[in-house]
Structures are given as C-alpha cells and as structure tokens.
Structure 1
C-alpha cells in the first residue's frame, strides 16, 4: 500500500500538501486537491487510522450492549431501527461499532466492563437489557462514557422515548371514540417502560373519572405472540368484556388479532384494538392498526451524537435525559362507540 510520501512524490508536491488535500483543507486549490485524491485512490492509499488512534489515545470504536430476552435479536423492529440510526450516525463521525459479548453460558466469559476494556472501546450504548444487572451497573459506574436507551442512570447520558405522553395520547384517543372499558396486555414486568406506560394509562383514565380495574391489566411480554393471543381469549371470554384492548407493541397485537379472528369476531365491529411502536406491519394490517409512532431514527441519532460529544470532551458535565416525542397514529382498528 502506498504511503503519503509516495503520493507526494508522484504528484510532485510536499507531504504537507498531500495531507491537506486528503483532509479537505481549504488553503490549496481544488484542482490540486482533486488530482492528489485521484492519485491516492489509484495507488490504494488509505488514511492511517491506527496511527491516528494511537496518537489521540482513542480506538474510534463504540460498543453496543443489546440483549433481547425474547431472542428476536436484530429482528426486533423498534430496537433494530434505533441501532441502525445509531450506527449510521456514529460511522458518519468516523467511529466503528462493536457488539459486546453477552454470552454468559461459559464460566470464563468476560464481564461487560472487561469486554469493553479488552476491546479498548471509547464508549458504549446500552439498550434493551436488564438495567438492574450488577454487570450493567458496574459498566455504567466505570470511567467509560455510556449512553442508555429508555432508562435513566444519574451518572450517564440517556435518550428516552416519551412513553408517558405517548400512552396518554393513545388512551385519550380511545376515550374520545367512546370507549370506557379498556384492557391493557403489557410488556415485561421488569421493564421501566412498562411501568411508565401503565402509570400513563391509569392516570389518564382517572383524570377522566373512569375506574381502571387491575384485572384488566394483564402482565405479558413484549413481542410474545402466544401470550398476547392467550390473554386476548381470556379477556373476551369474561362476562364483563372490554370494548378495546391495547397491546404493549404492534407485534404482540398481531397475536391478539389472530386470536380475535379465530373466535369468529371482527375488528373493530366486535372489539377494538390498538398497539404501540408503529412498526411496518402496523400499516399493512387490515384494518390499519391504531398505534403510537416512536421516532427511532431520532433516538438513535441523538444517542450517537451525545455519546460522541462526551467521548471527545465537548461536554464537561452530563446533561438531563433527552426526551424524544412520540406521535399518535390513528388507524381504523378503534371503532367509534355511542354513549356506553
């Protein structure tokens, strides 16, 4: 591979001029810059990132700690979109992405912090994980810059989708359609997002003077089609049935919809349904699913930008959590009721 000195010799210019051209400096002519870049490309020259990393005491590598208990991995629509946005933004700023080993089946496997040290990571983004895990807390409390998604630690950056407002918007819409009997098939009980959404549901119902029976909040799991279907059947077999069922996510709603149809019922004529996330499948369902859109692109972008600013020392102290707004997406799956 050609060196910067080789490029300078071929072009008949100084090493400093080649360096300026390859770094898009403005104090050399555009024609000279273009010629130098063409020669560098022909000679197979690539910037010496390793030397740059050594000089700056950085690896230009950011870790991603992502564990999905449902084992859906990167097919997890919500987090896959966040991760893609995070990756694109980080790479645009010269950083590579490394997934941190989460395989704990082997006794000799490294802790999360040890893995980060071993890889020399400049920072870490944490998403979709048990934030109460001691290893996660050890990493968060270390000197490695960290940003979390949908969870707040006082000692690190966080980017949070506004689940409280998102749930409020959804419930208020359903109430405006005349529904008072609303059930909620929730996500994982260990998730802080689940707690926030349940509170948002209860508070909104209470503000409208409607009692929310605890028996209409059924603890399930995110993206669990089977459990969503089972709880849906259980709700619809009750003597006092809800008129609308909210699912923790759109994927779970698919399981609920399948159960409803298997019982010979129609949506929204016999039962109304709503989801959360506005993943692609929500727009393909018939009728179109009423849901809440989370701005995954902005969440991933902000997480990468803030983490890189912290890594590069542009922030002297941590900022409050970045709250990313969500948007109600009314579909045709919630029927307008007459006074109940």
Structure 2
C-alpha cells in the first residue's frame, strides 16, 4: 500500500505538500493538487485512518440508532430510504457508520456505552421509543446527536413536516367533495401528535365536524391492525366517505377490509395514504398519498451532525422542517350519495 512518502517521491514534492493537496488546503496550486490526486488514484493510496484520528482527535465513525418495534428492520421502506440517504452523505463527508444496539457479543450495554465503546463522533437517532431512558441518556450525553422526527429540548432535530402533510391530504379530499373524512393514525408519538394537529386544524379551517368515532388509533406499518380499524369505520351508522391511513403499507389492510365488505375504491369510499413509498405506486387503484422527502431528511441529518462534530462551537441546535409533496392517484373520487 502506498504511503504519503511514496506519493511525494512520485510527484517530486514534499510530504507536507502531498498532505495539503489531499486535504484540499488552499495554499496549493490547482495543478499540483490535480497531479497529487491523480498519483494517489493510480497508486491506490488509502489514508491511514489511525494517523488521521490521532491528528484530528476524531474516529470518523458515526453511530446509527434504529430500533423498529414492528421488527421489519431495514425492510421498512420509509426509514431505510432515510438511512440510505444519510449513509451516502456521511460517506461523502469521509465518515463510516456503526449501528448502535444494547448487545455486543452477548454482553449487555446501554446505547451510550456502545457509543463510547465504538468511539463514535456522533449519532443519529431514528425510529426508536424516544421515551426510553437509554435514549434520553444518550441525547443528554457528551455525544453529538441528531434526531429524526422527534424534538428534544435544545437538541438538533430534522423533521418531516407532518402538519403540512395531513393538511394537504385533508384539503385534497375536501376539494373532491368529501365532508366525512376519517383518520386512522399510528401509535402515540411526536409524529402522530403533529399529524393529528394537522388533521384537526385543517378540518376546523374548512368547517368540517369530526366525530370522535372517525379518529382511530392504528399502528404504523401494521396492515392487520388497520384492517380492523377500517372495519370499525365501515360499520358506523354513517360511515366516512374518505379514510386517511397512517402509512402506505398499512393502507393495504384498509384495501383488503373494504374489498371484503363488498365495496369499491373510490366508487364507494376513498382512501389516502402517507409516505409515498414505491408500494403506493403499484397498488390498485394507485394510492393518493403524501410523499415524505427521504433523501433530504437523510442528507440534512448527515450535514447537521457532521457540522456538530467538526464545528461544535458555532453549530446551533435547530429544528429543521423538510417538506414533501402530494402524489396523485386514483384512490380518491367524488363521494357517493349516501
């Protein structure tokens, strides 16, 4: 494996010049920088991370805390897309990632202990029980942290604009003539609270009354539970004409329950989802849904976390909202005359 000294000899410059060229220092000419980098590529030079860590006092390793209660793991399309975008960006910035957990080779440790054991420079937290004492311990520790879709006091957070998302769905249904709109939401989380706020706020602004029976608690990414809640809505004396589901995957349960009841989408009842995953584009009829900007969520979280690691004194804790967009489909139509 080539060293800095080998590169210096190849290019006829000093080791210091090679180091500056590879690290993008401004006091090196563009021609020299290009010559050094071309030689590094040709000779297969790889930076010595141990030496780099000693010089910068960083490990260039970022922790990822991701716990999916539904056990779908990285098959969870929404969060896997966010984390993939995060991974791509931190790698572009010169960092590796390590998944943080409570077990290592049969040994139990806290999330914070695992972060210290791996020596991560910072951590991103997504899809966990944010009330878990171990999560709170990590957030309040010396480890720089960015949370996704949850806000801790005076901590960096990147958030999908869930209030706007539900507002867009409600207003789209209203524009089609729907006045009886139901919402099956996920379990009680910060995301759910924001979506409920967006739902009720939009309904109030549009002058819609929302019976308590129209708002039901499902479970994110659980089609079977949402099928049960759909059946309960269909059994009401005056059923809704449009149902908003907690996510696109759960909407499949709603589709099945509606079909089993002998009803048709959207002729008898309209359906809307949330997330905008690939599945929503191949469902029949194609699902009207609100697509979250997973690429921007992951990239923003990566940029902000690396800023906290590299410039801790000048990086302020922020709550950054990322907007998505409504995806058209054929699952929403004019309400039936019932």
Q: TM-score scaled to structure 1, two decimals?
A: 0.91
Give matches, 1:182-201, under 5 Å: 182-189=181-188, 191-201=189-199
Aligned counterparts of 2:280 and 2:68: Cα–Cα separation in 1:
21
Unmatched 5+ stretches in structure 1: none
Aligned counterparts of 1:169 and 1:250: Cα–Cα separation in 2:
16
Shift of 1:17: 3.8
**Structure 1 range deviating more: 91-100 or 197-206:** 197-206
Asked whether the 8 Å contact 1:145–1:156 carries over to 2, the reply is no
Other structure's SS at 1:276 match: strand
Other structure's SS at 1:69 match: coil
Aligned counterparts of 1:12 and 1:206: Cα–Cα separation in 2:
73
Shift of 1:294: 1.0
- Report whether the alignment pairs 1:101 with 2:65: no
With over 3 angstroms needed to count, the CA separation of the structure-2 counterparts of 1:317 and 1:217, relative to structure 1, is same
Give matches, 1:125-274, under 5 Å: 125-189=124-188, 191-274=189-272
Aligned counterparts of 1:217 and 1:42: Cα–Cα separation in 2:
62
Asked whether the 8 Å contact 1:20–1:28 carries over to 2, the reply is no
CA deviation map 1:212-233 (0-9, x unaligned): 1111212110010111112212
The corresponding residue for 2:112 is 113
Other structure's SS at 2:274 match: coil
The corresponding residue for 1:292 is 290
Aligned counterparts of 1:222 and 1:338: Cα–Cα separation in 2:
29
Shift of 1:160: 0.7
**Structure 1 range deviating more: 36-45 or 213-222:** 36-45
With over 3 angstroms needed to count, the CA separation of the structure-2 counterparts of 1:29 and 1:329, relative to structure 1, is closer
Asked whether the 8 Å contact 1:63–1:100 carries over to 2, the reply is yes
Shift of 1:333: 0.9
Shift of 1:180: 1.5
Aligned counterparts of 2:14 and 2:88: Cα–Cα separation in 1:
35
Aligned counterparts of 1:199 and 1:182: Cα–Cα separation in 2:
15
**Structure 1 range deviating more: 12-21 or 272-281:** 12-21
Aligned counterparts of 2:151 and 2:84: Cα–Cα separation in 1:
21
Aligned counterparts of 2:71 and 2:229: Cα–Cα separation in 1:
21
Other structure's SS at 2:90 match: helix
Aligned counterparts of 1:34 and 1:192: Cα–Cα separation in 2:
49
Other structure's SS at 1:2 match: coil
Other structure's SS at 2:125 match: strand
CA deviation map 1:290-313 (0-9, x unaligned): 111111111111111111111111
With over 3 angstroms needed to count, the CA separation of the structure-2 counterparts of 1:13 and 1:278, relative to structure 1, is same
Aligned counterparts of 1:295 and 1:55: Cα–Cα separation in 2:
37
Asked whether the 8 Å contact 2:155–2:318 carries over to 1, the reply is no
Aligned counterparts of 1:254 and 1:24: Cα–Cα separation in 2:
51
Aligned counterparts of 2:284 and 2:121: Cα–Cα separation in 1:
46
Shift of 1:37: 4.4
With over 3 angstroms needed to count, the CA separation of the structure-2 counterparts of 1:160 and 1:42, relative to structure 1, is closer
Asked whether the 8 Å contact 1:140–1:155 carries over to 2, the reply is no
The corresponding residue for 1:89 is 89
Other structure's SS at 1:70 match: coil
Shift of 1:12: 4.2
Q: How many residues align?
A: 337
Aligned counterparts of 2:40 and 2:109: Cα–Cα separation in 1:
41
Alpha-carbon RMSD? 2.3
CA deviation map 1:13-68 (0-9, x unaligned): 432343344445673463x6555545544544311222111111101111110111
Shift of 1:161: 0.7
